[in-house]
Amino acid sequence: MKQFRRMAYPYIFWSVVMIILPMLLIVMYAFTQKGNDVLTFKVTLDNFIRFFSDPIFMDVLKRSMWVAVLTTVLCLVLGYPVAYIIAQADGRKKVMLVLLITIPMWINMLVRTYAWVGILQDKGLINTILGFFGIGPISLIYTDFAVVLGMVYNFIPFMILQIYTALSKLDKSYLEAASDLGANKLQSFLNVTLPLSLPGVISGITLVFLPAVSSFFIPKMLGGGQYVLIGNVIESQFLTSGNWNFGSAISLIMAVIILISMYITKKLDKTGLNEGGK
């Protein structure tokens, strides 16, 4: 038993250095301001008051939440049918479909997002194809559409894989029982498949919403620096303005929002499991 405890020491040390210590520093910076000299500081709530009292920052927060919700909804609407098709496929075909979904994830997200810059620009692939039909060029890059497209493209595999996992574990005997009781395919889906797949749906929503609400390089690259989300504000406070106190306060606010979102999805997940058990 002691040997197993000793094996956990490196992980505990890594967690303290890489997770707990940075979080404590963020909390310290968020609730403090620099004093008259380098070594002094004062405890204050001015950073939080500044954020919530400035309509510009509140608009950025609302836009970030809206983009994250829209991205999550689109990933769910587009991802569920794909996951359902994969779950219904035969063995070898299923493996190939899962591979097609996961292969893009092997490439760095920054590279994948940068590829969309070339596809969406005025002389890019899409406008070149439209030009053959006498259409365009259409302004696609540096728009709301480009940002949401980049979000959906990068995060939809998480939604598909979570829902597919839930559907693949579905006991077929439930569907057979529903069919024996006279339910058609639509009724079987709505009353059996969908409720039992809700844990996968909730997990997918969590894995898409959380990174989407704090993403900064996707809107920076596909929005041309003109489409500012809360992640871009945090980045600019740390790297450009050098105001670590205000940047830490915004980071802490987003951490609280993310924790609340995780709590809500956990509650919904438990509800889905209880309904599925019934």
**Residue 208: pLDDT band by 50, 70, 90 thresholds?**
very high
Q: Percent of the chain beyond pLDDT 90?
A: 32
Q: Tell me the pLDDT tens digit for each residue of 127-156.
A: 888 888 887 778 888 888 899 999 999 999
Domain ranges of the chain: 43-277
Query: Cβ of 29: how many Cβ atoms within 10 Å?
Result: 21
Q: How far apart are CA 206 and CA 261, in angstroms?
A: 8
Residues pairing with 43 in the sheet: 32
Residue 32, classed as helix, strand or coil, is: strand
- Average of per-residue pLDDT across 5-17: 80
Q: Report how far apart, in Å, the C-alpha atoms of 248 and of each of 11, 52, 254 are.
A: 26, 14, 10
Give the predicted TM-score (pTM) of the model.
0.84
Residue 141, classed as helix, strand or coil, is: coil
Give the tokens for residue 243: 């105001």
Query: Cβ of 224: how many Cβ atoms within 10 Å?
Result: 14
Quote the distance between the C-alpha of residue 270 and its chain's center.
Answer: 21
Q: Tell me the pLDDT tens digit for each residue of 108-134.
A: 888 888 889 889 888 888 888 888 888
The CATH H-level (homologous superfamily) assignment of domain 43-277 is MetI-like (1.10.3720.10)
DSSP one-letter code for 215: -
